[in-house]
């Protein structure tokens, strides 16, 4: 990878692109993931490449929801594995969640490569390889999940756009936390807690909030109050307004 100087105005964006490129080379990310990354980057540019106040509130609510969960699961696809592998492991540790690999373009080779990649970044138990259960209503490979993972979860983090599975998981009664830079996507519109932010910022932010809430020894009632105070419709409206009317520096 060409070394990118810190003072380059597009330094973070370029580094993120290189992570996706490396993911493709390692067999972790599909070629379609390159297109998805470009689409997300366009939205992030319109957001000013920063975490908005509404996204920050969503990230705090997400942390509280994960701490309240009986069985939280973090879903990982190829782009997530390429962009934030260590950060997903840290979030899982902060909220005592399982990590499960779930892919649309699923092959045994990709599943194994992503699981190994996550283990290299600190994961001890990676689910998704057993695929001994199915999400009702889906006919493609993303229907395949672990019975003791996503299928059994009460709260699922679904990073990056994944509309049909998000709808199917909602039909199963799961509480979904979605990270998606497009507030108008089916995923964001379906989620109980939509986080309209770049995943490279969102995941560390949720982890930070979770750790702070634990350090404060927040009670169940306090966590429930944080979740109840979050207005998903207002958050989506604020995100769309920022994209449509925001001023770029």
What's the burial of 221, exposed, middle or buried (CB within 10 Å: 0-12/13-18/19+)?
Answer: exposed
Query: What is the side-by-side order of every strand in the sheet holding 175-179?
Result: 126-127, 98-101, 72-76, 155-159, 175-179, 193-195
pLDDT band at 115 (very low <50, low <70, confident <90, very high): very high
Give the single-character DSSP code of 21.
H
- The label of the residue with tokens 């995100």 reads 239
- Taking CA atoms, 191 is separated from 30, 53, 65, 196, in Å, by 25, 18, 12, 11
Q: For residue 149, is pLDDT > 90?
A: yes
Task: Tell me what pLDDT residue 188 has.
Answer: 94
Find, among 63, 154, 79, the residue nearest to 55 by Cα. Answer: 63
Q: Which option is the CATH number for 53-244: 3.40.50.300, 1.10.3720.10, 3.40.1410.10, 3.40.50.12640?
A: 3.40.50.12640
When pLDDT is averaged across residues 172-191 and rounded to a whole number, the result is 94
In angstroms, the CA 188 to CA 11 distance is 28
Q: At 100, which helix (H) or strand (E)?
A: strand 98-101
Find, among 165, 45, 149, 46, the residue nearest to 100 by Cα. Answer: 149
Task: Tell me what pLDDT residue 19 has.
Answer: 73
At 22-78, the pLDDT tens digits run: 767 787 876 676 667 667 788 888 888 899 999 999 999 999 999 999 999 999 998
Q: What is the overall mean pLDDT for the chain?
A: 89
At 223-246, the pLDDT tens digits run: 999 999 999 999 999 999 999 886
């Amino acid at each position: 990878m060409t070394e990118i100087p810190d003072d380059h105005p597009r330094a973070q964006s370029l580094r993120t692109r290189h992570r996706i490129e490396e993911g493709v080379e390692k067999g972790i990310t599909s070629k379609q993931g390159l297109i998805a990354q470009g689409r997300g980057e366009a939205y992030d540019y319109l957001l000013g490449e920063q975490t908005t106040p509404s996204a920050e509130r969503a990230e705090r609510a997400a942390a509280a929801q994960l701490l309240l969960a009986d069985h939280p699961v973090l879903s990982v696809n190829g782009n997530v594995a390429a962009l934030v592998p260590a950060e997903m492991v840290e979030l899982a540790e902060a909220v005592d969640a399982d990590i499960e690999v779930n892919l649309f373009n699923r092959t045994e080779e990709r599943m194994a490569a992503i699981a190994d990649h996550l283990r290299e970044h600190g994961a001890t138990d990676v689910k998704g390889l057993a695929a001994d259960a199915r999400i009702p209503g889906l006919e493609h490979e993303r229907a395949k999940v672990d019975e003791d993972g996503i299928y059994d979860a009460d709260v699922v983090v679904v990073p990056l756009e994944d509309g049909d599975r998000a709808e199917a998981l909602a039909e199963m009664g799961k509480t979904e936390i979605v990270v998606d830079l497009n507030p108008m996507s089916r995923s964001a519109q379906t989620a109980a807690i939509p986080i309209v932010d770049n995943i490279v910022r969102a995941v560390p932010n949720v982890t930070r909030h979770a750790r702070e809430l634990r350090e404060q020894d927040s009670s169940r009632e306090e966590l429930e109050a944080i979740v109840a105070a979050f207005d998903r419709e207002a958050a989506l409206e604020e995100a769309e307004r920022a994209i449509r009317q925001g001023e770029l520096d």
